[in-house]
Amino acid sequence: MQVIDSHTEGEPTRVIVSGGPDLGSGSLAERAKILATEHKDFYRSVVSEPYGQEAMVGVILVEPVDPECVAGVIYFDAAAVIGMCGHGTIGVAATLAHMGKIGIGTHKIETPVGVVEVTLSDANTVTVKNVASRRLQKDVRLEIDGVGTVSGDIAYGGNWFFIVDKSPVPVIPSNIRNLTEVSIKIREAIETKQLTGTDGGIIDHVVLYGPALSKNGHSRNFVLCPDNAYDRSPCGTGSSARLACLAADNRLAPSEEIIQESTIGSSYRLSYQPSTSDTIIPNITGQAFITKEATLMMNPSDPLKNGIKLS
């Protein structure tokens, strides 16, 4: 299996260029469902240790249905097949440029949740025009053991998020363990209360916000992903969901650009344009760097070929 690895603002992406499973020729959503239901061991093995690494997101390049798109993509991490991935899309654009498939300019990429646009400014800098994003509920209150009452918004940016504007734990690098534990408790409380997005969408990402630690930053976030790893980047789909909340509260004007810091201090430039009465179109700019071209070999006799699983 041929793969190209990259990182986007610190968050790793592994693009499967060839050798992945046959997912048929249906819609991207249908092919993503086949990956999720019939090839779980495969996708876990690609991004999990010992073949992958913590926090890695995988991408399968497939033929798009929309002829205007340069590629179709399906995203996954160690826990789930996911609808959209902002940092992964930036990584895909840089990878396609590295392969000579696209050049400087704007291109369309098809995802399971819709078509997005990527604008390649140079070999590393990419702006993603994401799918329409919105806030579903405001100020949802949860009681968290050992923490107290936490209030957050339920919002969509390609995935469903629970967004806590004022983190109960300071969002600083030395607090990563505490931030992770609190975020897991919040997600468990969401599951207990059976909170969902539209049409039963699973809220599997939690974002905690705190003050920026740089002079030009708007805020700093901690993002818990479905596999319980934290996002090293500021999270493109999470940032999209947050932009929807800021827009709904009139806290950010259309086209006004902010700098969103990640837990580790990397950043995205963010802005949005209004769409419908309750949605916005986010723009996310970040940088991705190619780190590896490799042939991934899954030894059938390796007892850990499907990844390390801890009970």
Domains and CATH numbers, the chain: 2-129+290-295 (3.10.310.10), 134-278 (3.10.310.10)
Residues contacting 300, CB < 8 A, separation 6+? none
pLDDT tier for residue 295 given thresholds of 50, 70 and 90: very high
pLDDT at residue number 188 = 97
| 37, 81 Cβ separation under 8 angstroms | no
For 101-153, write each residue's pLDDT tens digit. Answer: 999 999 999 999 999 999 999 999 999 999 999 999 999 999 999 999 999 99
Catalytic residue chosen out of the listed positions 69, 225, 235, 245: 235
Residues contacting 264, CB < 8 A, separation 6+? 10, 173, 232
Average pLDDT for the chain: 96
For 6-19, write each residue's pLDDT tens digit. Answer: 999 999 999 999 99
Residue the block writes with tokens 């974002």: 207
Residues contacting 233, CB < 8 A, separation 6+? 8, 9, 10, 11, 86, 87, 262, 266, 268, 286
pLDDT tier for residue 187 given thresholds of 50, 70 and 90: very high
303 CB-contact burial (10 Å; exposed 0-12 / middle 13-18 / buried 19+): exposed
For 201-260, write each residue's pLDDT tens digit. Answer: 999 999 999 999 999 999 999 999 999 999 999 999 999 999 999 999 999 999 999 999
Torsion, Cα 284 69 28 131, to 10 degrees, reads 30
Of residues 73, 54, 70, 67, the one with CA closest to residue 16: 73
Question: What is the average per-residue pLDDT within 286-311?
Answer: 91
Strands 203-210 and 134-144 turn out to be: unpaired
pLDDT tier for residue 33 given thresholds of 50, 70 and 90: very high
pLDDT at residue number 26 = 96
Residue 83 main-chain phi, psi, to 5 deg: -70, -40
Of residues 50, 70, 46, 54, the one with CA closest to residue 7: 54
pLDDT at residue number 310 = 78
**Dihedral sign computed on CA atoms, order 42, 48, 50, 56:** positive
pLDDT at residue number 92 = 98
Annotation marks residue 85 as catalytic:
yes
pLDDT at residue number 311 = 63
Residue 22 has pLDDT above 70, yes or no: yes
Catalytic residue chosen out of the listed positions 69, 85, 225, 245: 85
| 40, 61 Cβ separation under 8 angstroms | no
| 221, 207 Cβ separation under 8 angstroms | yes
pLDDT at residue number 129 = 98
Q: How many CB atoms lie within 10 A of CB 265?
A: 15
pLDDT at residue number 76 = 97
CA–CA dist 253, 249 (Å, integer):
10
pLDDT tier for residue 308 given thresholds of 50, 70 and 90: confident
